[in-house]
Amino acid sequence: MSENDDTRRGSSAGRCVVLAGSTGTIGRAVSDCLAADGYDVVRLVRQGSKGSGSLPGREVVVDLADREALEAAFKAARPNAVISCIASRSGEPKDAWAVDHDANVNLLRASEGSGVDHFVLLSAICVQKPKLAFQHAKLAFEAKLVASPIDHTIVRPTAFFKSLSGQIGNVRRGKPFMVFGNGELTRCKPISDRDCARYIVDCLNSPERRGQVLPIGGPGPAITMHEQGALLFDLLGKEPRYRSVPVGMFSVAAAIFGLAERWSDWAAEKAEYARIGRYYATESMLVWDEKAAEYSAEATPECGSDTLRDHYAQLLSLTP
Q: List residues binding ligand NAP (CB under 6 A).
A: 21, 23-27, 46, 49, 64, 85-89, 99, 103, 122, 124, 157, 159-160, 163
Residue with the CB atom nearest ligand NAP in the bound state: 24
Nearer to ligand NAP, 80 or 88 (CB): 88
CB of 238 to ligand NAP, least distance (A): 26
CB of 163 to ligand NAP, least distance (A): 4
Nearer to ligand NAP, 13 or 65 (CB): 65
Nearer to ligand NAP, 5 or 66 (CB): 66
CB of 92 to ligand NAP, least distance (A): 11
Nearer to ligand NAP, 9 or 109 (CB): 109
Nearer to ligand NAP, 146 or 259 (CB): 146
Helix-helix angle 3-12:25-37, to 10 degrees: 90
CB of 98 to ligand NAP, least distance (A): 6
CB of 84 to ligand NAP, least distance (A): 9
Nearer to ligand NAP, 23 or 186 (CB): 23
* All residues at 6 or more sequence positions from 57 whose CB lies less than 8 Å from its CB, including other chains: 19, 22, 31, 34, 35, 40, 41, 42, 43
CB of 144 to ligand NAP, least distance (A): 16
